[in-house]
Structure formats: structure tokens, C-alpha cells
Amino acid sequence: MKSHTQVAVIGGGVVGCSVLYHLTKAGWKDVVLIERDQLTSGSTWHAAGGFHTLNGDPNVAKLQGYTIGLYDELEKISGQSCGLHRSGGLLLADTPERMEWLKMAHARARYLGLETELLSAKEAKKLLPLIEEKYFVGAMLDAADGNLDPAGTTHAYAKSARIGGAEIYLQTRVKELKPRPDGSWDVITEKGNIHAEHVVNCGGLWAREIGRMVGLELPVLAMEHMYLVTDEMPEVVEFNKTHGHELPHAIDFKAEIYMRQERSGMVLGTYEKACVPWQPRQTPWDFGTELLTPDLDRIAPSLELGHKHFPAMARAGIKRIINGPFTFSPDGNPLVGPVQGLRNFWCACAVMAGFSQGGGVGLALSQWMVNGDPGFDVWAMDIARFGEWATRSYTNEKVRENYSRRFSIRFPNEELPAARPQQTTALYDVMLSQGAVMGDSWGLETPLWFAPKGVEPKDIVSFHRSNDFPHVKAECLGVRNGVGVTEIANFAKYEFTGPGAEAYLSRLMTNKMPRIGRLILTPMLNPGGKLIGDFTIAKAAEERFLMWGSSQAQKYHMRWFEAHLPGDGSVAIKRYDMGLVGLSIAGPKSREVLQRLTDEDVSKSAFKFMDHRAMDIGNVPAMINRVTYTGDLGYEIWVAPEYQRRLYQAIMEAGRDLGIVNFGMRALLSLRLEKNFPTWFRELRPIYGAFEGGLDRFIDLTKNDFIGRDAAMKEKQGAGKLRRVSMTVDATDADVLGDEPIWHGGKVIGWVTSGGYAHYVDKSLAQGYVPKEFAGDTKKGAFEVEILGERRPATIITEPLFDPEGTRMRM
Ligand SMILES: Cc1cc2nc3c(=O)[nH]c(=O)nc-3n(C[C@H](O)[C@H](O)[C@H](O)COP(=O)(O)OP(=O)(O)OC[C@H]3O[C@@H](n4cnc5c(N)ncnc54)[C@H](O)[C@@H]3O)c2cc1C
């Protein structure tokens, strides 16, 4: 074993081998992989080997497409067969709702460049005669689906990595990881120590235990998973003979099973409701290549349905049953990237579909390590997306929920119940008593909308406009015509202090820092000029700045902030989390409410748009920003959590005779739509440049040098390819949700990022990206947006439909 290496990858499953290969491909040759036992000896060896591109997140779907395309390259480099069967796959819909979901997936596949086709049940039966047609309403064919040999594929990665210069040490367990002051690691193994500049946790079933070596409790849990292999089936033999090719894969959502051909029989696996975690506290180090005891009773409901839906399966003999564990994160997507708070420690774990995702994970992580950036949008699998609230028991509840719902539809207005409420503010019970329907916002219960007296506070889940529609409308009108109050505790809040704070923020942000008592809005860019943040910053004192941003991105942003801190201790950062909570009041009468709660002058001239002040509001010490995301006259009032209840009571009392209304996140998002305001992680993501995103007025290329300035300059001079656009959509009873294709002249040229119904202006709106040469086409109906399989006319609007001059915000 070497004594020093640039990278020590821990774990020789498919993911570790992919990371190793991609590091060599990216040019890092001095890299090693350390494996406790043999390659594949975690969850990899007993995988069913299926692969597909379908994923709820389009960026992960793209990475899955990359993985599937990679296998030919691996075979060529390594000379090792991956045992590929590119058979295609059918996704079978049993209900109209599932068919709508498939239509959405099909529409999304168009802009991702993936090959899918919608079929009737009859057409599906032609491709897969095992189907009992009457149980299905239709299907989607995904040409990219297939299966492979898990061990062959892992060895193909490993051989390719060795050819690229990597070394692999087998039968060598890593026992300890010790950080050095320079950020490198001493990797203590059973067979000696190795000094590594970087460590990558690809520990699969033991990823949690490797995390614990460095003080992390990773949100990852293994679940038992069963599939069975049938004896030879005459129906399969006959099909192969007459068609000359294999049967396609199939997913039967209703029965919660997946199926594929294996030799002359079939493989059938289930994601059963009565699922069972494996080793919820500690994975034993001596777990080897043994299998778990199968439990057919547990999967009996799925099998019964499967036998009805595919009668030939009921007649088939079972050759063997595999029950093996593999790992999941709380939302089912991988945990990839550098870990906030640790230097040179990287994760590529919780990869539940190693043969669909392993290649993409390896590519993303290697680029991140080598270039400082994953090279594309990996938010859906970024390890930073989970906060401290993702505890071991939270993970246990969420993983079980996720596993049991693997083949269930998640409706756009559906909030999942497991592990909730996790975090609540002091207003939780008050909000519930006022009819709030709550949603989960980065682990925090946040009001979505309010059911009036006599209306059940509950969402009816749907892809169409639903039961909240009239109530969200009433909230929007309440704000625009009077005044409303909403909880904003779910924003991210930070404080930057110290003599170096201003220079530090100026180097990170694209906009000039404000004067004391003022606010700015500012994007943050990576060196490539792509958007990695969008913030409101207040200068509270000479060496004190407050900042607000996206709640979901708190760890993502802290990781960036910490990585760029000056080494001289001149800047301190604090993430407030729930140490600072807030309420926002908005609407033309909001000033009146505020004035009733303070003896300070809050008139238009004394407390201007984009001012920041500290003042007592109804006896409560508060910080106030004169800005709101509603695009109306309004204020964000920030207080310590112990004052939030008192503040709310004071606001409600002061606003009672003015008709103050509660409004929730859905109304807030609707109000921002009619102002064309973008949202973080929808319109603003690391795949877009600031000018592409339409943030021109927040980019000051003449101020001091800042990260991403050169790239931003180039983008301004014409390098950017896309433009964010807002559109009215001629929708019927369903609005856009995000990820719908945008058509122009009969071709898909762009995609929707978000949208919905803008209640005050009474229009269905969408935001999205199109190539910039199309952005000027403002002809009525020049575009179409595909909603649930129907192409609806859409028209670009160049100005917000509400208050285009911005006079309301400044009144
Ligand atoms: C029954 C079943 C069916 C499946 N079917 C499919 C499928 O059809 N398609 C699909 O894509 N996926 C499938 N999977 C999931 C797939 O197996 C996983 O996604 C994949 O194996 C994850 O690979 P990994 O490299 O992350 O983890 P692992 O395979 O668990 O590898 C981790 C490796 O790290 C090593 N290690 C751990 N700790 C240390 C240490 N301290 N020192 C040194 N080495 C260490 C382990 O020995 C192990 O080899 C299935 C899983 C199961 C159980």
C-alpha cells in the first residue's frame, strides 16, 4: 500500500468504483480505492441489475441517462463485459391519474432529450404479452431501460480505473479517519496507514459508520428488499422465439412491482408497503455476502396483484428469492458532495439505484473534486440538502415512507406525513387553530393556506386546481386590497460580523454592499458565472451585516461561505436558524398596521422602500426590512423566537378593523408570480447565468472584483444562451407545476421552471427558460406549454402584470 495519495476512496461497490474511474478520467491519477472485503461485497453483488432514466428530478434523470450511456465506453476501455440487455421498459398506468403522471413524465423527457412513447394498454400488451390488459389504462415506453450484470459492471469500472492509474486495495478495512491541520486525512486501515489529501465515503451499507468516524450522523438507512426469480416460463420462451428478442422491463405501479426477463424466466421485485429497515442503528462490520431471510408474507399483497395483472406469473415456479439490504436517504436520492464543516471529506452514498445513477454520481463528484464544481445541477442529490433536523429517527421514518411510496404518485400539492411535525415555531398551534394547512419547509412546519371556518383544512391531492384554489385567491385579494400577515420563519437568516465582513461579502456578491440602515438584493455566482445564491443583505452596523436567503440552501450556502472565509479571523458567520423568526405584513394598509404598533415614524419618507431598522413593535424588540416578496407595500419583521407569539397577537389586534388576513406560502408564491419575481432552486439555479436569469440590475460589474465577475462580463457581452421569460398560459383547470416543455413552431425549445395561478390578476402564469433568440417573440400565443399532455397557447409578457412600475412597493 502507498503511504500517500491524493484521494482515498473508501468502498469498492459500484459507486466507489465509478468515483475512482471518473477521478482518473478527470486527470487525477494518484488515487486509491480501499475495500474491506472484495469488490461488490456490499449491496452491489445481489442487485437485480435493472437501469432506467425515470426520476422525479429532471437533473437526476439526466445523470441517469449519462450512466446508461456510459456502459459501452466502459466495456471498450476495460474489455470487461457489463452483461448489457437493452430491452426497453414499460411503465404501466392503472388509473387516469397515473396516466396523467406518465404524460407529465413523457413531456419532461422531451426537453431532456430522452426517448419515451405513450401507449394504449393494447399497444403495451403487444410488447409485453404477459399483461392482462383490462387492469391498465395505458403505458409509457422508455427505450433506455435495461439490465446488466452488477459484478461485471463494477469490475469494468474498476479495471478502467486501474488502466487510468488508480490502485485498489482489497481485504483492507478502514478503521479510523484522523484529520490533519492542513485539511488532509490519515486513513487508518487494518493493513497500515495512508495519508490522503481527500477522502471519499463510498461505504454503501456502511456509509453511516464511516460518517461516524468523522463525527457525522448521515441521514442514510438500509432497507430489506426482495426479488424473486422464476423457473423457465413457456410464455417467455415462446415470445423470444417468435420475436427474436427479450421481453421489455415493466413497472406495475398499482402492484408495486418491477419485472424483467432473466434467462427464460422472469425477475419480479417489490417495493412493499410493509417494508422493513435493516440494521437501523449499526451495520455489523462482519456482514459479508450473506443474504437475508426472505419473507413472502410481507410481499404477498403485491404478488397477489401481480398474479392478477400478469396471469402467467401465477403459474410460474419460483427458482430463488433474494432478500438483500441497500441504502436510501430520506427522499430516496443520493447524498453526494463535500460535507459542510469538514475539509476534503466527500460523500457518494445512499445511492439506491447504483446501476442507473452510479455513473452520474461518479462524474459529478469527480468534477467537483477536480474543478471545484460538479459541472451541472446536482442539487437533488447534494448532501447539503438535509439539515440537522434529519436525525436518525427522522431518517428511519422518512426512508420507510419513501420506500413504501416508491411506486406511488406524489401529487404537486401533496405533503407527506412521516416524521412531522419535526420543527415548529411558537405559532404552530395558533396557526392550526386559524385553519392553517401546514407544509414542510426544510423540516419546519409552515402554513400553506388557511381554511375558513366550516371548511376542512386539508388538501385534496390533484394535478389540477384543487380545493385550496378559492381560499388562496381570497388570501391574495386580502393582501392586495388591504393587509395580510404571514410567517416567514422558514427563510434562511445569517449574520456576518467583524472588520473583514464588508470586503468578504463584496468579494462573494455581485451587488454593492448597502449603506448602514439599507438593504440590497444580490445574487452570488460561482467562478463560472452561474447562480449559486440570491440574497437580501442589510447593513445593520459598521461591522455587522444581516442576510436572508433560501431556507433549503442553508447548508449549501454555509459550505460556500466557510470555504471562502479569510484565514485571518476577521469575519465571523452565524446561521440563525430558528434563533430568529419572523412575520411579514403586506398590502396597501400594512403601513397603518405598523404605525399603530410603534411610536417611531414609519411614514413613506421616514422609512423608505429597502430600509432596514431596529425598533420595538408592540413592545417587542425587532428588526424590520421594508420589503416583501409579495411585491406590495410591506415589511418583514424579525424577532427572537420568544417574542413571535406576542408579535403576532399585536399585529392581529392592530389590523383587525382593517380586515387583516392570514396568508400562507401558496398565496405568497402566487403574489410573486404576478410580479415576475423568480424563486431560488426554480428559476435561479447553478445551471443559469445571472443575465440569463434576468438579474441584470443586481450585477454591478464596475464595483470591486467578485467571484464570477469575468464570466458574468462575458455573459453580458453575449455569451449567455438562455433567457428567463414569464408567460401567460391559456390554461383550463390545471396550471403549470414546473418542468413542462415549452414549444415554439412545433418544436420543444425550452422548459418551465415554475408557475401557477396568479389570483389577483386572474391569469395562469409560467416562468421558464428559452434560447435567447426566442425571448423577443411576444406575439400572442407564439409559444405552447404542455400541461398534462395538452399543448396550451402561451404568450411572453415583458412586464409584470401587477404594478409594472413598482409603485406599490414604494408607496
Ligand atoms: C435485492 C436488491 C436488488 C437491487 N436491484 C437493483 C437494480 O435492479 N438496479 C439498481 O440500480 N440497483 C439495485 N439495487 C441497489 C444497488 O445494489 C445499490 O444501489 C448499489 O449496490 C450501491 O452501491 P454502493 O457502492 O453505494 O454500496 P455497496 O455495494 O454497499 O458498497 C460499499 C462497499 O464499501 C465497502 N466498505 C464499507 N466500509 C468500509 C470500510 N470501512 N473500509 C473499506 N471498505 C468499506 C463495503 O465492503 C462495500 O463493498 C438493489 C439492491 C438490492 C439489495
pLDDT tens-digit series, residues 259-298: 999 999 999 999 999 999 999 999 999 998 889 999 999 9
CA of residue 735 to ligand 1 center, whole Å? 40
Ligand 1: lining residues by beta carbon, under 6 Å: 10-16, 34-37, 41-44, 46-51, 173-174, 202-206, 210, 225, 227, 322, 324-326, 351-356
Residue 719 DSSP code:
I
Q: Which atom of ligand 1 is nearest to the CA of 324?
A: 53
Mutation test residue for ligand 1: of 38, 39, 41, 44, the one with most atoms within 8 Å of CB? 44
Contact of 761 with 674, CB cutoff 8 Å: yes
What's the pLDDT at 553?
96
Grid cell in block for residue 474? 381570497
Q: Which atom of ligand 1 is nearest to the CA of 34?
A: 43
What's the pLDDT at 113?
80
What's the pLDDT at 99?
95
Q: Which atom of ligand 1 is nearest to the CA of 154?
A: 25
What's the pLDDT at 745?
96
> Has residue 133 got a pLDDT over 90?
yes
CA of residue 388 to ligand 1 center, whole Å? 25
pLDDT (tens digit per residue) in 586-638: 999 999 999 999 999 999 999 999 999 999 999 999 999 999 999 999 999 99
pLDDT (tens digit per residue) in 494-546: 999 999 999 999 999 999 999 999 999 999 999 999 999 999 999 999 999 99
What's the pLDDT at 110?
82
Distance CA 363, CA 67 (A): 9
CA of residue 540 to ligand 1 center, whole Å? 50
Residues 6+ apart with CB under 8 A from 746: none
CB neighbours of residue 304 within 10 Å: 12
What's the pLDDT at 57?
85
CA of residue 14 to ligand 1 center, whole Å? 7
Q: Which residues of 726-742 are buried (b: 16+ CB within 10 A; e: fewer)?
A: bbbbbbeebbbbbbbbb
Residue nearest atom 26 of ligand 1, based on CA coordinates? 204
> Has residue 303 got a pLDDT over 90?
yes
Mutation test residue for ligand 1: of 326, 352, 361, 383, the one with most atoms within 8 Å of CB? 326
What's the pLDDT at 682?
95
CA of residue 43 to ligand 1 center, whole Å? 3
Backbone angles phi, psi at 2, to 5 degrees: -65, 160
Q: What is the mean pLDDT of residues 19-42?
A: 97
What's the pLDDT at 125?
97
pLDDT band at residue 56 using 50, 70 and 90 as cut-offs: confident
Q: What is the mean pLDDT of residues 561-568?
A: 96
Residue nearest atom 10 of ligand 1, based on CA coordinates? 353
> Has residue 194 got a pLDDT over 90?
yes
CA of residue 232 to ligand 1 center, whole Å? 28
What's the pLDDT at 108?
87
> Has residue 16 got a pLDDT over 90?
yes
CA of residue 13 to ligand 1 center, whole Å? 5
Contact of 197 with 187, CB cutoff 8 Å: no
DSSP string, 102-144: HHHHHHHHHHHT--EEEE-HHHHHHH-TT--GGG-SEEEEETT
What's the pLDDT at 465?
98
CA of residue 283 to ligand 1 center, whole Å? 13
The residue type of 293 is T
Percent with pLDDT over 90 in the chain: 96
What's the pLDDT at 170?
98
Distance CA 520, CA 433 (A): 36
What is the average pLDDT score of the chain? 96
Lowest-confidence pick of 113-117, 141-145, 431-435, 802-806: 113-117
> Has residue 375 got a pLDDT over 90?
no
pLDDT band at residue 115 using 50, 70 and 90 as cut-offs: confident
